[in-house]
Amino acid sequence: MLLANFSKFILETGTDEAGRGCLAGPVTAAAVILPEDFENTILNDSKQLSEKTREKLRPIIESQAITFAVTHLHPNEIDEINILNASMKGMQECILKLNPVPEFIIVDGNRLLNAKLGLATTFGKQFSKAEIELLKSIPNQSIIKGDSKYMSIAAASVLAKTYRDDYMNAIHEEFPMYNWKKNKGYPTKEHREAIRKYGVTKYHRMTFRLLPEQLKLDI
């Protein structure tokens, strides 16, 4: 059974991301503050839930949450600052969107959310000094496998996954040959064969190993 709270602060937010291991599409982050009396027996880590169950949970989370936020960080930004930093930046952006401001943050993984702040980037949001100070001021705790332990992180994982799936379904219509509607940009055999046949798109992450073997130029 998932736990309701880690810190004992009422305004505790859980945050998580989806799509770190994909070859194409954004990494999508979400943050959720749930009310103290929130209960749901089917909520779990989004990876343990069927697509149908995730879609059922999303409106429940959105309607009952005190506040929530979702952010996409796109391939150009991922390629510039790397996927780990992009994942953390996405979660930081979500925290800044929350109203009310959380009193405590729990984040899935082994890295504190405010470990690296204000990365100078060509693409995406630029944090102001005030935003950086706000993020620094909120105590936070990283929790390994937190999405299978705490309701707010599990709720964030569901939102991140469903919003990212919606995005991938939309860009599938633009490039149907990659079948993103099914593989969601993950490195499946089908996806890699499509890259080999059709090349890359603006949605592919160019710093990722898109094909198993190293490509060489004939000189």
Binding site residue list for a divalent metal cation: 16-17, 108
| Helical (H) or strand (E) element with 78 | helix 75-81
- C-alpha–C-alpha distance, residues 178 and 170, integer Å: 13
Tokens 């005190």: give the residue: 66
CA 85 to chain centre: 12
- Which residues are documented as binding site? 16-17, 108
- C-alpha–C-alpha distance, residues 126 and 118, integer Å: 7
| Helical (H) or strand (E) element with 64 | helix 51-64
